[in-house]
Amino acid sequence: QTKPRSINKIWPGKARIAVFLALALGLFGFVLVVRISQPIAISAEGGGGLRYPSPNFVKVDQSEIVSANEKACDLLLGRPTNSSISISVYLPCPEIEAAKAAAAVHRTHEERMQEENSVLPVSLLGDFSREEVAQSQNCKTHEVYALYRKQGSFSYWKSGGPAVQITEGAVPVSLKLSDLQPSTQYSYLVCYKTEEDLPWVESERHCHGPYSFSTAKARGTSFTFTIESDSEIQGDYDSEAMVSQSMTAAAAWRPDFHFHVGDFLQNDQWQYRDASYEDRLAVQLDKRRLYAPHLARVPLFLVRGNHEGEQGYDMYGEGPAARAAGRDMPTTSARARKAVFDQPEPDHFYTGNDEDYPFIGKKNNWYAFEWGDALFVALDILGHTTECDFPRASQNLGEKKQVCNPGEWQYTLGQAQYDWLCKTLKGSDATHKFVFIHHLTKLRGGASSIPFFEWGGHARDKHAPGEVGPWEFDAMRPGWPKPVHEVLVENGVDVVFHGHDHVWAFEPREGEGIVYQEVPKPNQLHDGAASAGNCVDGHYENCLPSSGYVKVDVTPGAFRVEYWGEAVDPATGRRDEGRSGQVRCGYTATAGPFGLGGPHRVVADAGCYAAARRAPGGEEEEAGR
């Protein structure tokens, strides 16, 4: 029988020690690698906390996640490019919010606006002036910063840059994430720390998120974007709740971005004529509140409308002294909008208006960019309309309230914007080209406005206003090679998305390869009955009432446009599930040698071809409508 060999003979003492040391070191290394390479991820969007052990990289600890509800925080994305994005951060002050609620008796600024003879209060803060709020010990100061990483990654969160100081209830601040990769999905957190907790204590830092976004898509990549228009509140037929309802539905598609085609709010009303910059800032923040829950994930692009208060003309006769001092409505409105919403400025990614204006800087009122296989062009029909020879008393505002309403040829893009538009369209080889503008001319309507003024070159017939009159383009627009519509067709524009009339209207142009698309209002009650007459006044074809939003799916060789309806049950005031979330009209367009390549390449759903409704004569818009 063979005796078992002694372990001492198999593994001498020194060998045993070496093996045991190797095993111990290996086990330690394995634990270390696992600990470093597998930080705990936040499980759901909407809330979180973190430890901050390094200025450059951060590891999330699940035990420190807190609900975002513990600290109100509005986050809005803007200016997305192929390598960066801006995050606008606003922290409400509890003391301000309580004062507003108590003094305003729960009235919104839209409800106050309906009191025709009232003037907007000096402050929307109720019993608290802004000076008192600034001295309040209850509106705290914080430092905020952003963290980001590729979506789905288990790597550490990366610092988005140095912290920025922000005070509750004050102007929002912007955090910029840079050095990002094109066509990439990212997740981000926005974190804050209160001033009394300084110096920084890891366990008392809190974050909102994670939220996600995409950098600009590369050519050959499909994507989705959404559109709405005219979400202002004009009467009891409009609803703030429906703004949130429609935006919730649109954001659920996780679009790359969201366009608003003008009349985001009503800054130009008579009640707002004497409003200060601070007042207009409060109005912008109030509207931001409705969108913030959704725009933390969806960048917002704004187009100027006739109610933004940024007209180039002197609507209420404020005079040159007010403009020279920066107190006029267009200046204070533009400043307030820029403070609350980050919009495109000319850089490596965007082109647009590069002029600097007193008290404002860049206006961000017209711009263009490419995303995937598409070119996007946003135009401003109001900002460069500076002449106004048609003062009159509006039936909407009362006999004593004179306003300035520009004449037919006075509405204009202006020479600089027109030249830039021609250059931008001609210089782009994008497969799809989309143009966004609030309204085309002084008239209501889309395709019916094409023949007139700088859009088509003709005046209206003096004896039959709805008919085409003489050619006046050369005299009225000296130095312009051709009317705007001709420029769009020659350069292959696929769709002109426009607003203003509060309805949906699908108008393909036979033989020209272009669609004029009126975008619906997102928040009109009673199935859009208040604006149904605009189908007639605008001479629209294929016209459907609001409310809802537009969803556009873009692929390298085609795109599909859909009108998704939203409705409210009048009995409950809640979303009508039976009539919401349905496609009321949709059409698909394939790319051709120029834009769509002709109407035979546009295939529309049967429901899109509603009976055309016509009205005799042309309808002018009353100021304030």
Q: pLDDT per residue over 22-41, tens digit each?
A: 666 665 554 433 333 333 33
Instruction: Give the pLDDT confidence score for residue 104 in this predicted structure.
Output: 54
Q: What are phi and psi of 427, to 5 degrees?
A: -85, -5
Domain boundary among 164, 197, 214: 214
Given pLDDT bands bounded at 50, 70 and 90, which one contains residue 625? very low
What CATH number does the domain containing 290 carry? 3.60.21.70
- Name which of 2-11, 86-95, 140-149, 477-486 the model is least confident about: 2-11
Considering the domain architecture, whether residues 177 and 277 belong to the same structural domain is answered as no
More confident residue, 280 or 25: 280
Integer Cα distance of 551 and 225 in angstroms: 6
Considering the domain architecture, whether residues 197 and 249 belong to the same structural domain is answered as no
Considering the domain architecture, whether residues 549 and 467 belong to the same structural domain is answered as yes
Instruction: Give the pLDDT confidence score for residue 600 in this predicted structure.
Output: 45
What CATH number does the domain containing 57 carry? 2.60.40.10
In a domain, 182, yes or no: yes
Considering the domain architecture, whether residues 235 and 161 belong to the same structural domain is answered as no
> What is the tally of structural domains in the chain?
2
Cis peptide bond upstream of 199, omega within 30: yes
Given pLDDT bands bounded at 50, 70 and 90, which one contains residue 56? low
Residue appearing with tokens 């990549």: 221
- What residue numbers bound the domain in which 72 lies? 48-93+140-214
In a domain, 230, yes or no: yes
Instruction: Write down the pTM of the prediction.
Output: 0.84
The total of other beta-carbon atoms located within 10 Å of residue 105's CB is 8
User: Is the distance from CB of 223 to CB of 217 less than 8 angstroms?
Assistant: yes
User: Is the distance from CB of 496 to CB of 435 less than 8 angstroms?
Assistant: yes
Burial of 12 (0-12, 13-18, 19+ CB in 10 A): exposed
Domain boundary among 160, 191, 214: 214
Given pLDDT bands bounded at 50, 70 and 90, which one contains residue 462? confident
In a domain, 391, yes or no: yes
Helix (H, G, I), strand (E, B), or coil: what is residue 564? Answer: strand
* Residue 206 reports pLDDT greater than 80: no
More confident residue, 172 or 592: 172
Given pLDDT bands bounded at 50, 70 and 90, which one contains residue 228? very high
* Residue 272 reports pLDDT greater than 50: yes
* Residue 48 reports pLDDT greater than 70: no
In a domain, 37, yes or no: no
Instruction: Give the pLDDT confidence score for residue 101 in this predicted structure.
Output: 66
| Mean pLDDT value of segment 174-193 | 94
| Mean pLDDT value of segment 292-304 | 95
In a domain, 238, yes or no: yes
Considering the domain architecture, whether residues 172 and 296 belong to the same structural domain is answered as no
* Residue 312 reports pLDDT greater than 60: yes
Instruction: Give the pLDDT confidence score for residue 196 in this predicted structure.
Output: 58
Continuous segment of H or E residues that includes residue 146 = strand 141-150
Considering the domain architecture, whether residues 242 and 175 belong to the same structural domain is answered as no
| DSSP 8-class letter at 366 | S
User: Is the distance from CB of 285 to CB of 338 less than 8 angstroms?
Assistant: no
Q: What is the pLDDT of residues 96-128, one digit of tens each?
A: 777 766 665 445 544 544 443 333 333 333 333
Considering the domain architecture, whether residues 259 and 203 belong to the same structural domain is answered as no
Burial of 61 (0-12, 13-18, 19+ CB in 10 A): middle
The pairing of beta strand 361-362 with beta strand 356-357: antiparallel
* Residue 147 reports pLDDT greater than 80: yes
In a domain, 280, yes or no: yes
Q: What share of the chain is helix, strand, coil (3-state, %, to 5)?
A: 25, 25, 50
Instruction: Give the pLDDT confidence score for residue 237 in this predicted structure.
Output: 84
Q: What is the pLDDT of residues 512-556, one digit of tens each?
A: 889 999 999 999 888 888 888 899 999 998 999 889 999 999 999
Instruction: Give the pLDDT confidence score for residue 34 in this predicted structure.
Output: 35
Instruction: Give the pLDDT confidence score for residue 624 in this predicted structure.
Output: 34
Mean pLDDT rounded to a whole number for the chain:
81
Instruction: Give the pLDDT confidence score for residue 41 in this predicted structure.
Output: 35
* Residue 300 reports pLDDT greater than 60: yes
In a domain, 388, yes or no: yes
Please name every residue paired with 78 in a beta bridge, in sequence order, or none if there are none: 86
Considering the domain architecture, whether residues 183 and 309 belong to the same structural domain is answered as no
Q: What is the pLDDT of residues 331-378, one digit of tens each?
A: 999 999 999 999 999 999 999 999 999 999 999 999 999 999 999 999
Considering the domain architecture, whether residues 446 and 327 belong to the same structural domain is answered as yes
In a domain, 22, yes or no: no
CB-based contacts of 231: which residues, under 8 Å, 6+ apart?
Answer: 243, 260, 263, 264, 265, 521, 522, 523
More confident residue, 286 or 21: 286
* Residue 455 reports pLDDT greater than 60: yes
Considering the domain architecture, whether residues 240 and 154 belong to the same structural domain is answered as no
* Residue 561 reports pLDDT greater than 50: yes
Residue appearing with tokens 């002694």: 6
The percentage of residues in the chain with a pLDDT greater than 90, rounded to a whole number, is 53
* Residue 499 reports pLDDT greater than 60: yes
Q: What is the pLDDT of residues 569-606, one digit of tens each?
A: 988 889 999 999 999 999 999 876 554 444 447 889 98
Q: What is the pLDDT of residues 384-398, one digit of tens each?
A: 999 887 665 444 444
Considering the domain architecture, whether residues 253 and 355 belong to the same structural domain is answered as yes
Considering the domain architecture, whether residues 503 and 463 belong to the same structural domain is answered as yes
Helix (H, G, I), strand (E, B), or coil: what is residue 587? Answer: strand
* Residue 383 reports pLDDT greater than 90: yes
